[in-house]
Structure 1
Amino acid sequence: MFSQGQLIFAICFLIAFIIVMIFSYRKDINTHKLFYKGNYKILIGFFIFIGLLFVIKIFLKR
């Protein structure tokens, strides 16, 4: 499906992308603490909403 060169490129790109993302996050960690306090509440709300959608789907299927 993919050639060996394409797979090597994809693996190298993925490793480089992850390393750059880690360095970028560490550089901006103080900014994240200042501006994004309490964002875990939004994440919890999102998961609750998705869970409710699954519950509704299960009940309406029966």
Structure 2
Amino acid sequence: MFSKGQWIFGILFAIVFIIVMIISYRKDLKLHKRYYKGSVWILIAFISFLLMITAIKFVFV
């Protein structure tokens, strides 16, 4: 399947990638708060829509 070197590379890559993403997010936090204000409501509406479709599927099938 995967060699030991590939596993080590994958794990190190994932760790470094996550650290860089956290640093980038913290750096841009002020911009996110200013430009994406209210986007949580869109996420809630989208999840509600998916739940409603799933409920309809299970009720009528």
TM-score (norm 1): 0.91
**2:14 is aligned with 1:26:** no
Unpaired stretches in structure 1, ≥5 consecutive residues: none
> In the alignment, what sits opposite 1:40?
40
Root-mean-square deviation over aligned CA pairs: 0.8
- How many residues are matched? 61
- The alignment-based identity, stated in percent, is 54
Runs (4+) of structure 1 exceeding 3 A deviation are none
* Secondary structure, aligned partner of 1:2: coil
- The one-letter code sitting in structure 1 at the alignment partner of 2:23 is F
